[in-house]
Amino acid sequence: MAIETINPTTGERLKSFDPWNEQQIETALAAAAAATHAWQASSFAERAQLFKNAAAELRRDIGRYAGLITLEMGKVTKEARAEIEKCAQACEFYAAHAQNFLRAENIASDAGLSYVAYLPLGTVLAVMPWNFPFWQVFRFAAPSLMAGNTAVLKHASNVPQCALAIEEIFLKAGFPRGVFGTLMISAAQTEKIIADSRIHAVTLTGSESAGRKIAAAAGAHLKKTVLELGGSDAFIVLADADLELAANIGVTARFLNAGQSCIAAKRFILTPSIAEAFLEIFKRKTRALKMGNPAHADTELGPLARADLREQLHKQVTDSVAAGAKLILDGGPHAGPGFFYAPSIIDNVQPGMRAYAEELFGPVAIILRAKDEADAIRLANDNRYGLGASVWTRDVENGERVARRIQSGSSFVNGLVKSDPRLPFGGIKASGYGRELSTHGIREFVNTKTIWIK
């Protein structure tokens, strides 16, 4: 099966790549293995300089890299450029802080000297998705490579030119060949690579089903894994919230990247006294979104990335409506070329409906009506996922109490849920395990090693 670029704005097939054969895969894995020893022996200062070079390269050609994102998965230009800038910031963050994050820790014991060292594992295989095709790669690569690991990338099959461009960035920045490599392989070829003794750990961002397969394959070979498997984030609006602010951020939180984000607000949980007022503002702001060609500067909502994703989303919506949910903003598949889906809002969502239980990966907002604050927390936690959540209230102390009770990897009070290199990122429950970013992220793929000297 070919690895293809299909423009989601037009549906046009633009470029096709044949998956690599066994010899091509062997060449890439051998290059990573050959580069590993020298890379581990390099200093933090040497690695940091190369990441500073990578940040400069990302910014130097930001228009081309952002253009590839727009071309292959339909992200609007403003958001695509912001994604490239965020990658550059992550490179600079780990260049500045990796050495301190991995500094040896002296521990008093019965030894003359005992300490914990954080040493690289070897080569990390990254299986990455299409929705943030640059950021999610750099999110793993910056800490992993700064820790002294090498890496190979199996990217999503619909963003092959982004995948090749990322390898090009590392080479242009001066990284030795083999330290980071892109594998042009299909999903069916991934399990065999996980089994290869030259792969020491695996990180995946993707669907729950993909996570189960990757974890099983890695577990069979005792390889460390980090999994980020999406979410159905709660957006809780309490009775004393600033409704204009909450609705304004809520529109961004739900419809950024055409709703194709793991940490997008997906379930809007409203307390009774503010529900109608919030919805009035939220619907008005949602209707005002400009959908169109993502390459145009004023477009706010681009297409979904693939035709099958649009079909799946619409089936989730229609099945939920058939079960009794109510469309209060009826968008749906847009007539004409491309994979556009107009923003939609579903009210009266109840247990047993697909919209209640599943992640809706696209521009559809789900409304859940809570009886009170306690019921809002119950609804937030009555979900198989646990990635992010946000709470909206003027009482910040109470907001913090509510945030702590939500079962998620992160909870934001009066703010848009987002990833930040300074803070750990990841989920619980069916959203996966392990953490990326911050000190916690760089320590996922190291050997936490005790050194004891008498």
CA distance 431 to 227: 8
CA distance 35 to 88: 24
Nearest-10 Cα torsion for 303, 427, 371, 285:
-30
Q: Which of 245, 64, 136 is nearest to 253 (CA)?
A: 245
Q: Which of 65, 110, 68, 112 is nearest to 87 (CA)?
A: 65
284 Cβ neighbours under 8 A, 6+ residues apart? none
Which residue type is seen at 354?
R
Contact 302, 294 (CB under 8 A): yes
157 Cβ neighbours under 8 A, 6+ residues apart? 1, 3, 4, 186, 187
240 Cβ neighbours under 8 A, 6+ residues apart? 393, 394, 395
Measured between its terminal Cα atoms, the distance across the chain in Å is: 59
Q: Give the single-character DSSP code of 179.
A: S
Which residues does the annotation mark as catalytic?
Answer: 228, 262
Q: Give the single-character DSSP code of 368.
A: E
Contact 265, 235 (CB under 8 A): yes
Backbone angles phi, psi at 149, to 5 degrees: -80, 160
39 Cβ neighbours under 8 A, 6+ residues apart? 145, 148, 149, 150, 176, 179
Return the bridge partners of 127, or none.
154, 204
Distances (CA, A) of 72 to 4, 78, 139, 235, 416: 9, 15, 20, 30, 26
Contact 305, 8 (CB under 8 A): yes
Contact 332, 318 (CB under 8 A): no
